[in-house]
Amino acid sequence: MNKRILDGGGLWKSDKLARMQPEWMRAEYANWIPLALANGVFEADTRRIWATIYSYNRPEITFDDAEEIKREFCRVGLLFLWPDEETGKIWAYFVGIDKSGRLPSRSRLDRKHEPIGPTPPADALRSYVELTRSKPLESSLVSQWLANGCLGFGFGTGFGLGIGKTPAQKTSPSPDGIAGKDSRRHKAAPGDLRFQPFFQLAYESFTVKHGRKPLWLGKDRNGLKNLLKSQSAEALPFERLQTLWRNYLDSTEAFTVKQGSSLAYFCSNLDKFSDGPILAAPGKGTNGKDTNSAVETTMRGFAANTGITH
């Protein structure tokens, strides 16, 4: 069984632990820490977690309780989850456990004295940490992500609406049945935590404005992925991205309107909407549709439901 060191000061003064509700769950952090392998990760299967921690002498804690504890750890920013393509399993990482003195030394890891798990995807982990640095995630957003099997991974494929790879879909083996170096080298990069909520926000606000669903192609999704890859969450936070998209949809200038609310065009021309909507010259008119109010209502409601607001 793993032996892990608890940082008393970090445990007793943790702002993230103080966010956990109901309060009885806060003490469970000390029970979960020994799950971590030598690099701070563990398999996030709730049934396995419950059997390890609670089945022997904590039978009053049910499987559903363990599931809610895991969800709450994720919500407040203490537990990052992601799927590992090679094993098809969901793994968890305790945020901050890599601080000095909390895990075995690098020399022990290098000599393979301690078992370790897969390495968390750095970009997705960084985005998760940034999103939860000052406030917890909205419960509905955590539920949405956990329904997809992870936090912060896989949002760059499909439409972000339940379409895309699942953790069980592994990379196809080479003809001789052995995955070669090239297949491992070309794995898809982890997704950005902004991708899923923004794509869905853009999708739904487009539908409200135009009265139909967008027929966005790969260039639209790739445009958004490339934009988020080039702009960190600090340089382009979700709130700023939402404002720029609203300015784009509210524009009445003829050339912009002709773009048909294309997501690809928006991602390639982000700066054009920094100062507000691009308006038609006086007397030029628009298409006569007043949809801005409905779009505004939709965007505000979506942002409130996901917990990503100003």
15 DSSP β-pair partners: none
Sheet holding 89-94, edge to edge: 41-43, 89-94, 79-84
Rounded distance, CA 216 to CA 219, Å? 8
**Taking residues 219-247, what's their average pLDDT?**
90
Give the residue among 118, 216, 119 at the shortest CA–CA distance from 158.
216
Q: Which residue has the higher pLDDT, 108 or 75?
A: 75
Strands (E), the chain: 41-43, 79-84, 89-94
pLDDT at 96: 79
Q: Is the pLDDT of residue 222 over 60?
A: yes
pLDDT at 137: 81
Rounded distance, CA 82 to CA 89, Å? 9
Contact call for residues 263 and 288 (beta carbons, < 8 A): no
Is 0.85 topped by the overall pTM?
no
pLDDT at 263: 94
The pLDDT confidence band at residue 289, using thresholds 50, 70 and 90, is very low
Rounded distance, CA 119 to CA 84, Å? 9
The pLDDT confidence band at residue 108, using thresholds 50, 70 and 90, is low
Strands (E), 47-186: 79-84, 89-94
pLDDT at 136: 84
| Top-ranked range on mean pLDDT: pick from 121-125, 127-131, 178-182, 270-274 | 270-274
Q: Which of 69-83, 191-205, 217-231, 238-252 has the lowest mean pLDDT?
A: 191-205
Q: Which residue has the higher pLDDT, 263 or 97?
A: 263
Rounded distance, CA 65 to CA 25, Å? 9
The pLDDT confidence band at residue 103, using thresholds 50, 70 and 90, is low
Q: Which of 44-58, 85-99, 174-188 has the lowest mean pLDDT?
A: 174-188
Q: What is the pLDDT of residues 205-217, one digit of tens each?
A: 898 888 888 888 7
The alpha carbon dihedral of 52, 55, 57, 62 has a sign of positive
pLDDT at 30: 86
- Take residue 27 and report the two structure tokens written for it: 């003490």
pLDDT at 301: 55
Q: Is the pLDDT of residue 285 over 90?
A: no
Q: What is the pLDDT of residues 38-83, one digit of tens each?
A: 787 889 889 999 999 999 888 899 998 999 999 999 999 999 988 8
Query: Chain-wide mean pLDDT for the chain?
Result: 74
Q: Is the pLDDT of residue 187 over 80?
A: no
Q: Which of 36-50, 107-121, 240-254 has the lowest mean pLDDT?
A: 107-121
Q: Is the pLDDT of residue 163 over 60?
A: no
Rounded distance, CA 35 to CA 42, Å? 6
pLDDT at 130: 86
pLDDT at 41: 84
The pLDDT confidence band at residue 94, using thresholds 50, 70 and 90, is confident
Contact call for residues 83 and 120 (beta carbons, < 8 A): no
Instruction: Considering only the C-alpha atoms of the chain, give the largest distance between any 2 of them, rounded to a whole number of Å.
Output: 77
**Taking residues 301-309, what's their average pLDDT?**
51
Share of the chain above pLDDT 90, in %: 23
Share of the chain above pLDDT 70, in %: 65
